[in-house]
Structure 1
Amino acid sequence: MNRYGRWRECLLAACLVITLPSYAGERLDDSASPRSRVEAPQAIEIPDTTQVVLKFGQVDYKLATANFVGKQARIDYVIPASIPGLVSPNGLLVEWRGNAPFESGTGRPGDRVLVWTGIVSEAWMSTRLDLTMQVDLAALRLPSGVPFGFESYFEIEVLP
């Protein structure tokens, strides 16, 4: 390849980087929530597979939204990209059923999933998510006696 071909490739790569959407979300304070870290309470093995279903039940969240009252915003549920003991993001599927005002959804480690959009009207936003996870045991390497768990969180982005 001649040097003009390489310049063209570099220019194309730079254009791709420039045009990628940026995410300007801010992590919401959920310290008033009863529990934000979830650990597997019970496992239901699916016969003849390497999958396990973990039912966490209903998890209550209380999010501090006082700084955003009166603003148009979106809130995403964020599943951390790095989860202790998980060797592949494809080894975990998180599913949740939302209760008003948040939407239901699914995601994998590293995903941000839209759960709410609108005008923030109160200093606190509360919701309850019914969490279930499917784990591929081949993608899990936990030390003995260490429970599987992680801390998901919410991010808010103010919209124009």
Structure 2
Amino acid sequence: MHAFLKTAACAGLLLCLLCLALPASALVARLDDSTSPRAQVNTDFRSAQPIDGNSFNLPFGRIEYRLATAPYIGRRARIFYVIPAGIPGLRSPSGLQVQWRGNGAFASGTARPGERVPVWSGTVATPWMNETFELTLRIDPRELRLPSGASLSFESIFEIETLP
């Protein structure tokens, strides 16, 4: 019986130490950007700029985002820019790289389809966060399978992760 109690005590201690070692869970949610003027990215290949024999840059221009952050005022958080994993007409994530330059508080960066990149961290202070990204798409045409005359189209989203 004494060996059983010793084993149970060790298991309980191990469980307590494991719980202390794990980070506190954060809440992740999609941010509402429905009041953004234009969130959908539609390509126009007429402005494509060749980079090398295998890819080209497609300057997309400015996209304004208006993110509803009212439910998170006063909370510490991180905001992520998320490129959708499945983009119709794109055979592989390696065929597209989205590059953006933030024009406000959000960080610039790059991502491929299916990636989630942190762009902001801090304490949410306002009910709305407004940001403008200058977008450029780097495309490998060997990875495109679009019907004739069709454009590559996708909508990125923002997620917020509240921190304890």
TM-score range, shorter chain: 0.7 to 0.9
The superposition leaves residues 57-94 of structure 1 with CA deviations (integer Å, 9 ceiling, x where unpaired) of 11100000010000000000000000010001011111
Aligned residues: 140
RMSD of aligned C-alpha atoms? 1.7
Q: Conserved in 1, the CA contact under 8 Å of 2:101 and 2:108?
A: yes
- Identity over the aligned pairs, expressed in percent? 53
- Among 32, 52, 56, the residue aligned to 2:35: 32
Q: Which runs of 4+ in 1 moved over 4 A?
A: none
The superposition leaves residues 16-66 of structure 1 with CA deviations (integer Å, 9 ceiling, x where unpaired) of xxx9xx874211010100011011134324176131211111110000001
The one-letter amino acid of 1:49's match is: G
- Among 126, 129, 147, the residue aligned to 1:143: 147
The one-letter amino acid of 2:74's match is: G
Q: Which TM-score applies when normalising by structure 1?
A: 0.82
CA distance in 1 between partners of 2:73 and 2:80 (Å): 17
CA distance in 2 between partners of 1:72 and 1:47 (Å): 41
Aligned twin of 1:127: 131
Aligned twin of 1:103: 107
2:48 partner SS? strand
Mind listing any 5+ residue stretches in structure 1 that lack a counterpart? 1-18
Mind listing any 5+ residue stretches in structure 2 that lack a counterpart? 1-21
